[in-house]
Structure 1
Amino acid sequence: MEAVRWLLAAAGVEFEEIFLETKEQYEKLIKDGVLMFQQVPLVEIDGMKMVQTRAILSYIAGKYNLYGNDLKERALIDMYVEGITDMMQTILMFPFSPPEAKEKNLDSVKERATNRYFPVFEKAFKIRMSNVPTIKKFLQPGSPRKPPPDECYIETVQKILKI
């Protein structure tokens, strides 16, 4: 969901988040047919209940004219998005690693991020993006950015999603 938060911030859109707190909430969404693939995130926008991060991002980017001016710009945006997705998948799964594998997994996450992803994002991209006024505001304390997962969050996610 973090990529969606960032894109909404870039578009200057205020949003409200509702977090699942119980397994029953999650199961109700599945039972009601809201979670097409039985997974979150879920974004309600323009009367739609959207799942799948890539579809959500494409919709929001298109709606707020943030998806490039031509096919070449869209392809470049897609490459960055897919790179971020790959990196985030690696990072987001780390807290759910078994305790005995954490050190090895942490080394792997650091190596991939440092050598594969960070160099791409550091080449002017970070500076340019952090100076966009709506993103600059999003980066300030008190914004709707999600903090890194703590033990309580990890335990809740594991309980709800049966991880």
Structure 2
Amino acid sequence: MPNYKVIYFGVRGYAETIRLVFAAAGVAYDDNRIEMKDWMVLKPTMPFGQLPVLEVDGMKLAQSDSICRFLADKFGLMGRHPIEKAAIDACAETISEIRVIVMRVQTNMDIPQDVKDKEMKVVLEEKVPPILEKLEVCLKKNKSGDKYFYGDTISLADIHFFACCETVVRLNPKAFDNFPKLAALYDRVKNHSHIYKWLQQRPDTPV
């Protein structure tokens, strides 16, 4: 078994899907959470000068979505055949749009808090729902939306959906009011035995 290390800051952010993939697969890894004060020293040693980074037996892999695909494929969370794998990948890419628009506002340190609150309200009420609507349609195409995005077992798409929507749900508890199938999927992933165990032991962070 390879030795895995996830290097990221002490938040969920762009690394949480990676951590959840490890959790779902029941695979051990080193969750290396660095302090911001140490980042400028570490930055030149990281591929492309970015985090998160996954170390596999000392080799560093970069870009969160790429890392997720690599791990999900390795752990059997990427579908049963090439077409399903591509569909799961495309679904995950769509889900990433939610994370991008939410974090773009949430991590913006150049605007006053009241302005940030107004911008986040627009994101949550106007920009996120159209993406959720597309995802609800996608989910309903498989088993009437009562299982997962694809097939009968959890995949990267489902895990990524949960990870990217955690902050949305925290900021807007009514986010899934018009999307009952997505609401049920969110709870299904949350209560997955291995994922639930991780959620109980991980650090609680705002993002």
In the superposition, the TM-score normalised over structure 2's length comes to 0.59
Q: How much has 1:118 moved relative to structure 2?
A: 6.5
Letter in 1 for 2:75: Y
Is residue 177 of structure 2 the alignment partner of residue 117 of structure 1? no
Q: How much has 1:22 moved relative to structure 2?
A: 4.0
Residue aligning to 2:41? 28
Residue aligning to 1:78? 89
Higher share of residues assigned strand: 2
Q: How much has 1:68 moved relative to structure 2?
A: 1.0
Residue aligning to 1:59? 70
Q: After superposition, where does 1:104-143 map in structure 2 within 5 Å?
A: 104-111=118-125, 112-117=127-132, 120=135, 122=182, 125-139=185-199, 141=200, 143=201
Contact 1:83–1:117 under 8 Å retained in 2: no
Structure 1 segments unaligned to the other structure (5+ residues): 150-163
Structure 2 segments unaligned to the other structure (5+ residues): 1-14, 137-181
Q: How much has 1:9 moved relative to structure 2?
A: 1.1
Q: Per-residue displacement from partner, 1:13-64 (whole Å, max 9, x unpaired)?
A: 23332223244x32333333xx222111112123321110122112111221
Residue aligning to 1:37? 48
Letter in 1 for 2:85: R
Give the % identical residues.
29
Q: 2:60 aligns to what SS in structure 1? A: strand
1:19 aligned to which of 22, 33, 38 = 33
Residue aligning to 2:17? 3
1:89 aligned to which of 100, 111, 115 = 100
Runs of 4+ in 1 over 4 A off after TM superposition: none
Q: How much has 1:146 moved relative to structure 2?
A: 5.0
Q: Which has the higher contact order (CA 8 A, sep 6+)?
A: 1
Q: Per-residue displacement from partner, 1:116-135 (whole Å, max 9, x unpaired)?
A: 22672607533543443222
Q: 2:61 aligns to what SS in structure 1? A: strand
